Chains A and B, each alone.
Chain A
Amino acid sequence: MSHWNQLLQAALVGTSRQPVPAAEGMPGEFAVLLHALEAGEAQGHLLRAAGVLAVGRRAGFIAPGLSPSDAPVAGADERPELKEPLLQAAIADALVNGPLRLQHETLAAVATAGLRLPHGLLPTALDAGRRSIELRAAVVPALGERGLWLAARNDDWRYAAGASEQADAQTRWDEGSLEQRRAVLAEQRRTDPAGARARLAAELQQLPAKDRATLLAALAVNLGLDDEALIDAQLDDRARDVRQAAAELLQRLPGSAHVQRVAAFLSPLLTQAGALWRIDAPEAADARWKDDAIDPVRPTHDNLGERAWWLYQLVRQLPLAWWTARTGMTPAALLDWAAQGDWNDALLRGWNDAVAAAPDFDWCDAMLDRPRTQRAWTGQLLALLPRGRRERHWLAELGEDGSGLHEVVGFADQACAPGETPSPELSARLAAALRTRVEAGALVNDYVLRQVLTSAAALLHPSALHALADLPRAADETPGTANALADTARIVRARQLFHTLSSSSPSQGRP
């Protein structure tokens, strides 16, 4: 035992019980010094010896050994990093303060310009992705090799850890993150649907449920009847998400056996008496339903009754085209017909689900043309339409007097995926209408307008942003108004700055 440890033991027990140990086996001058202490004053002897050793230990400190690191060194990046300090500061600010749409736009702008985030921003970006699942798809492409390396070192950032961006497809599939694997699959579906299906089929059963659902959904690219067998086999998967994903895919294949079976369940319930069509709900659950991912058990708190629940389950699984073909009615006429019958809630909910699973633009239009009180999921419906077909609904909602401003911004916010904007024309109209209201002092009493203003700043087409810049400020603003205006100004400034990045050449980041 070293002399230090002997001293420590005596110090722990107390010198009243254990004498100060004599220095033995110590070399050279230290021993001389310690022996001299033994002959000296008794009070403080232990600490005096400890002090001498403490100083010696400190001067002769040898750093502990650590087993050699097996972590690889990060690969070199081929992509240049974003160097512009103003942009770096704006990205850092956006990543910390949001909103999500702005974060998404900045990260996408970096990747689109052929650049990557500077090293100092990587932890902030990875943290932002940890907090928001929606942001992850934008975070990963902006990371570069260094960011992927860093993500692999921290469990909180595992979502981004994967194979090198520069690796070939097979490596990214074998070693990549779920997001990378999904991208490999979707990419291969574009050129070689059968090969991609075989790739997935080989592994599907061994994957966790979340991976099964995500990767199965990637078959939506170039979906064909060749895929039916594999998808149909997933209708009795253990996980509800997987069954759901399979049913939604099959819905897009009107010739599939699944669709035929559901149609056979529903057909007897839709009957014609003279010119009038009539729908009934099933009288009892059918044991065969379970093979088609139809759930006979009504959730306890659902607002549909049991029979309505069964009807809804059937309706949601059937392609919408079946209804128009069977009845000869247009979508608008069918919606009118349903509204007059007893089972409107079940039909409407089922049709909404069906349109979300397999978008049908005519049905979307018809649903959106209903009076506001008779429709649901406006934002989601709009999201299904291509931009050109959305705008008609927005303009109708906005009204000549601009009274629907709040609603339109709200719906557009839901409808536009991050990275998407309303058209330049609509954006200009919305921005002008917002500016008019702010100039008229509406922010003082209109709490919702504050929220709408900041959403619009992040949402509208970049060409309309100038109308939201330099909004008038007043001396007697309340803190709420001041915050809304300051936030709007911050978002507008940042977006205008990011826009310079996407409109300049990819070589911008080089020194």
Chain B
Amino acid sequence: MSTVMKTTRDVKGIGLSIPRPDAPDKVTGQVQYVADLNPKGLLHAKLLRSPHAHAKIVRIDVSRARALPGVRAVLTAADIPQLKKKAPTRAHAVLAIDRVVFAGQPIAAVAADEVAIAEEALDLIDVQYEVLPVAADPLESMKPGAPPVAELGTEADTSEALAHGSVAGVTTEAKPAKAVNISQQARLQRGDVAKAFAESDVVIENTYRVPMVHQGYMEPHAVLAQWESSGNLTLWASTQGSFNTRSEVADVLELPENRIKVIPMECGGGFGGKIRALCEPITAVLARATNRPVRYVMTRREELEAGMPAPQVIIKMKTGVKRDGTLMALEAEAILESGAFSGAVLAVAGVFLASLYLWPNFDVKGFEVLTHKPSIAAYRAPVAPQTIFAIDSQMEQIARKLGVDSVEYRLRYLQREGDKMANNQPWLSNGGAEVLARLAEHPHWKKRAEWKASSPKGKLRGTGISLGGWLGGLQPTGATVRLNPDGSLQVLTGQVDIAGTNIALAQIAATAYGVDIDKVKITTGDTDVAPMTGLSAGSKTTYTVGVAVMQAAENARNQTLEIAAKELEASVHDLEIEDGKVVVRGVPDKGVTLASIGKKGNLYMSKVEPVLGTSHPAFSVQAPAFCAQLARIEVDPDTGEVTLHDFVVAQDVGKAINPLQIEGQMQGGAVQSLGMALTEALLYDDKAKLTNPSLLDYRKLTSADLPKIETIIVEKPAPHGPFGARGVGEPPIVPAPAAIANAIEDATGVRLTHLPLSPERIALAIAAKS
């Protein structure tokens, strides 16, 4: 993943809309993803997956599969001594041992000369199951006596929450009470809720429900594993964090981390779904068993049936306000269905519910509940779209009931910098109010009455707005910046570029060092060579790695100036870098070229130290980022069909390092948000089996469903961000479900609280009302 920037000379660094340098390779199909790798001797892996959501494995017989010509290995749990029954995470549950806990759970693994042979071998594995009762619905699964999901004594997994680094000050309790499938619970309280409800004039109560959805990355999970005879393992991975993948694989397979090299290939989309290890351990085991390179590529069906989707979130919410609008009390119970393994970011849900608006009294309970479904993972701003759907829908309904402007109402009670969040941490500098105010100035919002009045015969038009955000993640990182003998710069990080961040980082290096962007090459190194770094997740790559690159570039700049100062017999403070030269300020013809300094750093017998800027920072201050979205829609009340006419996204990015890439993030995030709002749901039957395991039936939005997404970039600098930048990736996926539900109420007068807002739901709700 190396990139060289080529542009014209009239460029510098930050603030420019520059296409990704790998774009030409992407539009010509030259970029390599894991599935494109085809080393000599390659074997193909396939996994036998359970057809039952909950069953005892009575017997497995692989003898017929092993005998098939072209099959090189067939493994079950019995062949992998590292496997333990109380698997704390999905990655540890490499193959089921004696019980399966979701439909699609791997039971046996095959490596063969061809994919078709491996598939045939799966058919030859005989498994005898004893089918067990299933916990398919989280509300039922919470009750005492529900069929247990986890092995007794399994610890709750809160590492996802830690990985996202999003919330401080909330502790979640594992394994409470007698309800066997409640794996975490949390509670946030302030004030006297009962008294405040008694004093409220307007009390609104709703249950919001957001189904499991899939992250929908276009490249399915894929990995290629190969061992050297020395015992070193190389993994070519599609991952959002190569160091995290290395740690997880090392832990599962009980290997020293420095024996594993993870090479991050181009990641064909992740959105949170490629943070945790999934198929890497089993592929590594197959490669060891066969002593051949083994490639495993999940099918789309496997992705949908046995990926790591977003949790189903059910939120029971009650709010009370005074007739003059004064917020009194919020009561909420959030249930996060995390499937067969614990790992939901429960605390984030609680904090979001009670921290966006100024509730003086609140009581928010959160439960993570296990069911016999695939375990969940992060999905772009995990649980923020679901919780904001609830709280923003509620704010809109309150404003309507009070007969006040809903934007004005939100702004009146929005928590600002310094206000105490539900976890008692103060809100940090953010542009929440600014993005909502900017969107409220948009002609589409100002003319919402005209839009409603313009409804053609038989159609209903409406406008909706919503505000949501993300707290911003943090994780230590590192970067180096080298000066080459020709005066060009070489930036190295270990950060996987899943969002166009490498060009932004190169722009930061260019500006911080003082050269044009076309002099900077940035490389994402593998885990053997790159400075250790965190996940590309939590909207933190530019915010944190950007700081490392900026500091490393400044460090390299200072080293360069010191070398030049000696040569020019001038003070460092009088020097600057201009047009590839270090010059004495005010004496433009007195200078030394960067190339000559770079050259001396690699000259035989030279006494000049090579320029190597480094930085390896850790962080403590997050940068919350907010996004407001506006939808203008038309509803057909007979069919319930929603036509999106206009969609506007206003987002605070702190400082737009590369506006072109940022627009792309805002538009793409908005469309994922709209998909969650309108069409997407993983649908399970009462045996917890997925009923829509294809992209025909799991309906993502296409270009034919959507208007052009308009973007408004707002820049309220983040005090600790590189050049003021804050995270961009996650906020745009947050607001659309509420914006669409608000628009539907504006158009039709019905309030919908269950996603997706499908034609069927809308038509039935309208019919029920009239």
Query: Do A and B come from the same complex?
Result: no
